[in-house]
Structure formats: C-alpha cells, structure tokens
C-alpha cells in the first residue's frame, strides 16, 4: 500500500518533466537495491523506446519489485514480526505523437501484488513556443485500484468480501522557461483526488484496532526548480523546492468537526553535475524532507496525549502509520555517468560502446520507525 502511494506521487511529479521529450530508439536496463533495517527491495527494470514514422513514438517498460520485510503490520501478527516476501509486477506502454512543436502522449500502466492491483491511464500534452525557449505541459489521468486483505473482512468490502476499491484522478500543469543559454527555470503544479480505502489494511492502532482513514483525500503540490551551467568549469547546478498538502475535498461526514487531513511536507533539493573527463560525469545530490502529520495521526503509546488531540478533531479516524507521521529525512547521493565510447576498439565490448553506464549510492537518514536506509542503483542505456 505504501509503495503504491509512492508510485502515484512519483508519476504525478515526473510527468510534467518528461512530457516534452521525444522517444529515441533506445534500450535501458536499470536495477535498484533499497535496504533499511526491516525491509529490502530489489527492483530490475527494462525500458524500450522507439521512434516510428509520421511523428509517432512508443515506450514500453516492465519492472519487478521483490520486497522482503519483517513486519507485524503486514501479517496481522501482534506478538512478533514475521518475515515475508512480496512481489510486485508492473508493465506500462506509452504512445506519443509529435506535430511540429506539440507533443502528445497516451499511456497505460498495470501493477499487481498479492493484495493490491492497479490500472492507470493518463494523457499528456506539451507545446514549445518563443523560439523553443518556453514549454507549457499538462497531463491528466485516472487510476482504478483494488486493495486486498489477508487477515480480516473489511467494512468496505467488494463483492469478493476481501477487497476494497480505491479510485484516483490526477493531473497537473507545468511551465519551463529558458532564461539564457545556461539558465532554465521551471514551475509545476499537480494534484490527485483519491476516493476509497486509503489506510494500511494490516496496521493496528493500540487500544483502538485497525487504522481508520478518511475515505477521500486531495493531494496538492507546487514545485519550483532552477538550473544553471558554468561552461568554463563544466559544472551544472540545480535547486528545487516542493510544497505538498492534503485536504478533505468534500463536505465533512457527520461527527467530524474539522478537516482530518492537514498533512503537509516541504522538500528541498540541490544537485551538482561536474564533468570529470570526456566520458565521465559525476552528480552530487542532497535532499531534505520535512513532514507534518494529519490531525488523526497518533503514535500511542509513544505519545499518549495525541489520542485526546486526534479525537478532539475527529473521533472517526485513527492511525499510527509512521509514513504519515512527523517525518524528517536527509538524503545525500553520489552518481557516476560514463559514456562507453572508449570501448569502440575492444573486441566484444565494442557492442556496448554506444551506450551509457550509471551507478549511484545514496543514504536515507530518517527519524521514523523504519530507520536509516541504503539505496544502490545501476543502469545502462544503449541506442539501437
């Protein structure tokens, strides 16, 4: 459930940045390894892009998440953590069309786990003007998800008795302006309306029972980004700020006196790109994330007073999920990008000389119950 929510946020945040990019004849293979004290995620990804006649292009991808975790919340256990492995499969397809300075895409993605299934459709449209120095982009889509339950029968159950629906509509607008040959500025606004089962189906709140979330959620975010390149030292700088907030988008249910959400977050990120040689580039990234919890969140018994605080806003909802708590993270990362052109004269390896290799390592420093985490990513892209 946590992973699916993150995927939706990543999708809405990234589409505006990608909507103006034509596909290329390229194969990309990536791998990611994520490790925190109780969870390990291995994610291989294959993506193929192809230019077609008459301005069309197509992109297809397939990925697998292999998630191994020790979690009482995931199994319903109350006395000890239990080790389990979850496999998520995802496949996606995007078809694009370019008319002079306008590019449009339609996309579909299917994701499946043992207890979570998702179908998503979206479309994007972008247009460049002012001598290709400015770009306006927009996207919108719909996701129809099903949340499964292993250990209890939910009150929102569908016809099968052991699942609940979660429907989402999302969209956004973005504007990018080239300020000079070495400077770019960008602003994005995006949002998502979610309706259905939003809680973790297995997490328990001490003394209350299963998590109870509001059944509607409006996610909103605005981000600004600036980039500058110093040609003499072959170094680029990027800075980005993003503000995020949740709202209850409809009339409040009976007995609920105020918006039960109010979750907000700030993200500050900086990147430095530097070319070390003709074929080798290094990127340094540093990100800070600050999150304030919604009104119904409570980490009882760690903070017994929060029960009274949350029930004064709404006696209908309760959650101790650390992912929506008062989270603060710091994430430094270093990445190397190497163009393999030096392999052109080496037998066998010359097949890979037209491609680019990437490897990165990052470390999450987190104040939540999940603890710090290591992130290792590798990738190779090759035109064909």
Mean pLDDT along residues 89-107: 97
CATH number of the domain where residue 299 is located: 2.40.160.50
The better pLDDT of the pair 168, 201 is held by 168
Token pair 């998520």: residue: 88
pLDDT digits 0-9 by tens, 221-240? 999 999 999 999 999 999 99
DSSP 342-359: GGTTSTTGGGGTTSEEEE
3-state secondary structure of 369: coil
The span from the CA of 199 to the CA of 318, in Å, is 10
pTM above 0.85, yes or no: yes
pLDDT at 208 over 80: no
Which residues are CB-contacts of 289 (< 8 A; sequence separation ≥ 6)? 265, 266, 267, 327, 328, 329, 330, 331
Per-residue burial over 356-378, b if 16 or more Cβ lie within 10 Å, else e, is bbbebebebebebebeebebebe
Q: Report the largest interatomic distance among the alpha carbons of the chain, rounded to a whole angstrom.
A: 74
Q: Which of 47-61, 140-154, 215-229 has the lowest mean pLDDT?
A: 140-154
* Residues found in the chain: 384
Say how many C-beta atoms besides its own lie within 10 A of residue 44's C-beta.
Answer: 14
The better pLDDT of the pair 69, 233 is held by 233
Give 303's pLDDT tier (boundaries 50, 70, 90). low
Q: Which of 260-274, 301-315, 329-343 has the lowest mean pLDDT?
A: 301-315
- DSSP code, position 203: -
Give 296's pLDDT tier (boundaries 50, 70, 90). confident
Give 330's pLDDT tier (boundaries 50, 70, 90). very high
Averaged pLDDT score across all residues of the chain: 87
Token pair 């105020």: residue: 258
CA 20-276-336 angle, 5° bins: 60
User: Residue 322: which of 373, 369, 364 has the closest Cα?
Assistant: 369
pLDDT at 20 over 50: no
According to the model, what pLDDT value does residue 159 have? 78
Q: Which of 29-43, 99-113, 129-143, 195-209 has the lowest mean pLDDT?
A: 195-209
According to the model, what pLDDT value does residue 307 have? 52
Give the number of C-alpha atoms closer than 13 A to the C-alpha of residue 76, restricted to the C-beta side. 6
Domain count for the chain, please give it. 1
Beta strand residue intervals within 25-133, DSSP E? 26-36, 39-51, 56-70, 83-99, 102-112, 116-129
Write the Ramachandran bin of 6: left for phi over 0, alpha for psi from -120 to 50, otherwise beta.
alpha
Mean pLDDT along residues 74-84: 53
* Domain interval for residue 171: 2-383
According to the model, what pLDDT value does residue 304 have? 54
The better pLDDT of the pair 128, 201 is held by 128
């Amino acid at each position: 459930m946590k992973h699916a929510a993150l995927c939706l946020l990543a999708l809405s945040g990234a589409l505006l940045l990608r909507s103006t990019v034509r596909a290329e004849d390229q194969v990309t293979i990536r791998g990611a390894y994520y490790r925190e004290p109780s969870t390990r995620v291995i994610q291989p990804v294959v993506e193929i892009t192809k230019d077609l006649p008459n301005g069309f292009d197509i992109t297809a991808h397939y990925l697998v998440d292999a998630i191994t975790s020790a979690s009482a919340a995931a199994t319903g256990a109350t006395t000890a953590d239990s080790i389990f492995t979850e496999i998520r499969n995802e496949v996606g397809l995007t078809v694009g069309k370019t008319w002079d300075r306008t590019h449009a895409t339609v996309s579909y993605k299917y994701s499946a786990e043992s207890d979570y299934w998702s179908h998503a459709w979206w479309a994007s449209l972008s247009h460049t003007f002012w001598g290709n120095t400015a770009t306006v982009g927009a996207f919108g889509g719909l996701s129809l998800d099903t949340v499964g339950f292993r250990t209890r029968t939910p009150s929102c159950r569908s016809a099968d008795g052991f699942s609940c629906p979660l429907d989402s509509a999302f969209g956004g607008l973005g504007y990018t302006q080239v300020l000079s040959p070495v400077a770019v500025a960008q602003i994005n606004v995006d949002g998502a309306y979610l309706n259905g089962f939003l809680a973790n189906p297995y997490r328990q709140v001490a003394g209350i029972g299963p998590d109870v979330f509001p059944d509607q959620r409006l996610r909103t975010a605005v981000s600004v980004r600036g980039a500058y390149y110093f040609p003499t030292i072959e170094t680029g700088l990027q800075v980005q700020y993003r503000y995020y907030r949740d709202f209850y988008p409809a009339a409040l249910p009976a007995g609920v006196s105020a918006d039960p959400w109010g979750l907000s977050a700030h993200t500050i990120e900086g990147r430095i790109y530097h070319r070390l040689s003709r074929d080798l580039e290094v990127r340094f990234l540093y990100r800070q994330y600050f999150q304030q919890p919604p009104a119904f969140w409570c980490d009882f018994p760690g903070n017994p007073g929060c029960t009274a605080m949350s029930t004064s806003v709404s006696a209908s909802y309760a959650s101790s999920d650390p992912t929506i708590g008062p989270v603060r993270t710091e994430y430094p990362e270093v990445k190397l990008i190497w163009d393999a052109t030096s392999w052109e004269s080496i037998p066998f390896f010359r097949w890979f000389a037209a491609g680019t290799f990437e490897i990165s390592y990052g470390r999450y420093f987190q104040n939540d119950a999940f603890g710090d985490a290591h992130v290792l990513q590798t990738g190779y892209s090759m035109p064909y």
